[in-house]
Amino acid sequence: MSKRYLLIIAVVGIASLFLATAIYAGTTVADVVNMENKAYDKHKKSIVTFTHKKHVEEYKAVCGDCHHDADNKPLSGLKMGDEVKNCIECHSTPGEAPKGKDAPKLSEKEKMAYHAEAMHENCKGCHTKANKKSGTKTAPTTCTGCHPKAEK
Ligand code: HEC
Ligand code: HEC
Ligand code: HEC
Ligand code: HEC
C-alpha cells in the first residue's frame, strides 16, 4: 500500500472520530420517555408514557410538530443529536392553569405559561386531528388514555 493511501485512511479515521464525538456531545432522548418532569413537587395524575421513537418513526410526526424555538417557530431542521431545550424551560409554570368560576380569564399566551396546558394542547391537538383523519380512536384524547388509572 502506498503512503498516499495510508494517509487517506488516517484522515478518514480521524474525521469519523470527530463526527462521532460531535453526535455524542448533543442531547439524546430515550425511545420511551417517562413524562415525570422534575419541576413538579408532586404529580396529581399518573405518569404519562410517551413513545418518542414511535411518534417519529411509526406515526410520522416531524420534530417541528413538537419542538420550536423561542419565537414559536417549528424547529424543522432538528436532527437527532442536536441540542434540544425541554418544554418546561419556556412553559415554566408546573401544572394546569387555574380552573373554575373564580379563575382569572387568561389570554392564550398566559395559559401557555403553564406546562401542562402546553403539553395538552400539543399532544391532544394532534391526536384529535389524527383520529379524525384515520376514523379511529388510536390516538388517546381522554385523561386515562394518557394518565392510566393506577393498577390495584
Ligand atoms: C410528538 C412530539 C415530538 C416529536 C415529533 C419529537 N419530539 Fe423530541 N421530545 C418531545 C417531548 C415531549 C420531549 C420531552 C421533553 C420535555 O419533557 O421537556 C422530547 C425530548 C427530546 C429530546 C431530549 C431533550 C432533553 O434534554 O431531555 C431530544 C434530543 C429530542 N426530543 C429530539 C427530537 C428530534 C431530533 C425529533 C425529530 C426527529 C423529535 N425530538 C421529535 C416531543 C417530540
Ligand atoms: C425556547 C422556548 C420554548 C420551548 C423550549 C418550547 N416552547 Fe412552546 N412556545 C414557546 C412560545 C414563545 C410560544 C408562543 C406562545 C407564548 O408566547 O407563550 C409557544 C407556544 C406553544 C404552544 C401553543 C400552540 C402554538 O403552537 O401556538 C404549544 C402547544 C407549545 N408551545 C408546546 C410546546 C412543547 C410540547 C414543547 C416541548 C416539546 C415546547 N412548546 C417547547 C416557546 C417554547
Ligand atoms: C403530530 C402528531 C402527534 C403529536 C404532537 C403527539 N402525538 Fe401521540 N400519537 C399520534 C398518533 C397519530 C397516534 C396513534 C398511532 C396509532 O394509530 O397507533 C398517537 C398515539 C399516542 C399514544 C398511544 C400509543 C403509544 O404509542 O403509546 C400515546 C400514549 C400518545 N400518543 C401520547 C402522546 C403524548 C404524551 C404527546 C405529547 C407529548 C403526543 N402523543 C403528541 C400523533 C401525535
Ligand atoms: C395526550 C395525552 C394526555 C391527555 C389526553 C391528558 N394529559 Fe394530562 N398531561 C400529559 C402530559 C404529557 C403531561 C406532562 C407531565 C410531565 O411532563 O410531568 C400532563 C400533565 C398533566 C397534569 C400536571 C401534572 C400532574 O400530574 O399534576 C395534570 C394535572 C393533568 N395532566 C391532568 C389531565 C386531565 C385532568 C386530563 C383529562 C381532561 C388530561 N390530563 C389528559 C398528557 C395528557
Specify the CATH number for the domain of residue 101.
3.90.10.10
Q: Report yes or no on 44 lying in a domain.
A: yes
Q: Report yes or no on 151 lying in a domain.
A: no
3-state helix, strand, coil in the chain (%, to 5): 45, 5, 50
Into how many domains does the chain fold? Answer: 1
Ligand 1 proximity of 75 Cβ (cutoff 6 Å): no
* pLDDT score of 151 more than 90: no
Q: Report yes or no on 128 lying in a domain.
A: yes
Tens digit of each residue's pLDDT (9 = 90 or more) over 16-44: 655 555 445 568 999 999 999 999 999 99
**Domain limits for position 93:** 3-146
Q: Report yes or no on 7 lying in a domain.
A: yes
Q: Report yes or no on 152 lying in a domain.
A: no
Q: Report yes or no on 114 lying in a domain.
A: yes
Nearest to 121 by CA among 60, 29, 131, 113: 113
Q: Taking residues 89-112, report their average pLDDT.
A: 96
Q: Report yes or no on 19 lying in a domain.
A: yes
Under DSSP, the state recorded for 74 is B
* pLDDT score of 78 more than 80: yes
* pLDDT score of 73 more than 70: yes
Ligand 2 proximity of 73 Cβ (cutoff 6 Å): no
Residue 119 Cα: closest atom of ligand 1 = 12
Ligand 2 proximity of 72 Cβ (cutoff 6 Å): yes
Torsion 95-99-103-106 (CA) sign: positive
Is residue 68 classed as helix, strand or coil in its secondary structure? strand
Q: Taking residues 129-133, report their average pLDDT.
A: 98
d(CA 89, ligand 2 centre) in Å: 10
* pLDDT: which is higher, 106 or 4: 106
